[in-house]
């Protein structure tokens, strides 16, 4: 049995479309001793009116790492953004 580790990091690149993948630096982009996980698939953040929001470089992300099997997932990504919905597609 293998355990998952949850790590808080920063997205290192901005995808252009939903099929792109992204990388996440843990603990952040400014620390020299860091690890970069990815390429990882992400889920967009939907708005109530049918628009979506894609992650951007510098957004925060929570990554799950299964070190026993080498699998990695983005659990959540988020940013502080005052832009009102709907978000552009």
The answer on pLDDT for 32 being more than 80 is no
Q: Which CATH number do you get for residue 21?
A: 2.40.50
83 within some domain: no
The answer on pLDDT for 87 being more than 60 is no
Whole-structure pTM value: 0.78
**Mean pLDDT, range 57-80, rounded to an integer:** 89
Total domain count, the chain = 1
Share of the chain above pLDDT 90, in %: 37
DSSP state of 72: E
Domain hosting 31: range is 4-78
- Quick check: 76 and 65 in contact, CB under 8 A? no
**Nearest 5°: phi and psi at 20?**
-70, 160
85 within some domain: no
**Mean pLDDT, range 46-65, rounded to an integer:** 84
Please tell me the predicted confidence (pLDDT) of residue 88: 52
86 within some domain: no
58 within some domain: yes
32 within some domain: yes
88 within some domain: no
The answer on pLDDT for 64 being more than 80 is yes
């Amino acid at each position: 049995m293998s355990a998952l580790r949850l790590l808080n990091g920063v997205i290192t690149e901005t995808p252009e479309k939903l099929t792109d993948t992204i990388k996440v630096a843990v603990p952040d982009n400014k620390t020299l001793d860091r690890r970069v996980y990815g390429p990882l698939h992400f889920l967009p953040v939907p708005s109530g009116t049918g628009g979506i929001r894609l992650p951007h470089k510098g957004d925060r992300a929570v990554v799950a790492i299964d070190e026993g099997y080498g699998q990695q997932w983005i659990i959540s990504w988020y940013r502080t953004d005052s832009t009102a919905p709907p978000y552009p597609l």
